[in-house]
Amino acid sequence: MKKKARIAVTRKLPATVETQLGILFDSKFNLDDTPFSESQLIRAVNWADILVPTVTDKVNAKVINAASPNLKLIANFGVGVNHIDLEAAEAKGIQVSNTPDVLTEDTADLAMALIIMASRRLGEGERMVRAGNWTGWTPTQLMGNRVSGRNLGIIGMGRIGQALAKRARGFGMSIHYHNRKRLNLKIERELKAKHWESLDGMIANMEIISINTPLTPSTANILNAERLKRMQPSSVLINTSRGGLIDEEALVENLMKGQIGAAALDVFDGEPHVNPKLMHLENVVLLPHLGSATIEGRVAMGDKVILNAKRFIDGYPPPDKLILELP
């Protein structure tokens, strides 16, 4: 009987996914769902043929270089791979795959929800009621802004950016975008989206900014202090991608001074740590990285991991294998 491949899973996954992994592979699971330390990751890569990490794992060069020769695939549970040292993996002959295409709708739903929450001050209202501070309806209480007719600037017009644009159009918003590469004209016409070559120019003219680009060396801190100053005093900033895309200290300063109207954040730089200054701002919505947190989405992510692992063990390239882009 052929020996099953060893697979190490760093976080607790949906039960149906773990059951299938247990049938197909010699699997080690994280039963208490506590994030792995560096030493635990090193033990895992010393044992496994396939590692299944998540965004909470820092699969750095030290971890990768400590792996046994048997480790040949890192099948990431998630789309973003900024927590994996891709260059170190390639140098050691380890393939890396992710789970694209299954999180698009869920993340776009959340981004649209945050646009509405921040614009209509729903977080403030919910906190008021829970704290027992609501004394009844008044004509001027927690007045926000309607989203219909507002200019939405999308930074990063990939799958999620385009899915958000479709939703925002349904709410009567005007769609603008900045992207590394301009979309083809057919897609632009379908989305009724205006392309901005200048990110600075777009930011200065938008009432709502949503950042939907991956975190890479070239996009890190893309919304730096200088760009945040270009935002309008009543504008809203949405981030459902990665915390490292925004200079959080500069964001806090602008929010406190009223130079930015509001922000809604699902991700943070250095999460699960959240800048304490953000916690005390009423004009900020804070969520615990819920972008893909649907039952359907997480199971689909697991199915992608299983497919990539099975194909790899069968001697084929994983369908979602990442190709390292050299500068």
The residues annotated with a catalytic role in the active site are 242, 271, 289
- Beta-bridge mates of residue 177: 154, 195
Distance of CA 1 to the CA centre of its chain: 42
Q: Burial-class residue 307 by CB neighbours within 10 Å (0-12, 13-18, 19+).
A: middle
Closest residue by Cα to residue 9 from 78, 81, 65, 69: 78
- Greatest alpha-carbon pair distance for the chain in Å reads 75
Distance CA 245, CA 79 (A): 16
3-state class of 297 per DSSP?
Answer: helix
Number of H helices, E strands in the chain: 13, 12
Is residue 326 within 8 A of residue 142, CB to CB? The reply is no
Helix pair 15-24, 295-313: axis angle to 10 deg: 10
Q: Which DSSP category does 34 fall into?
A: P
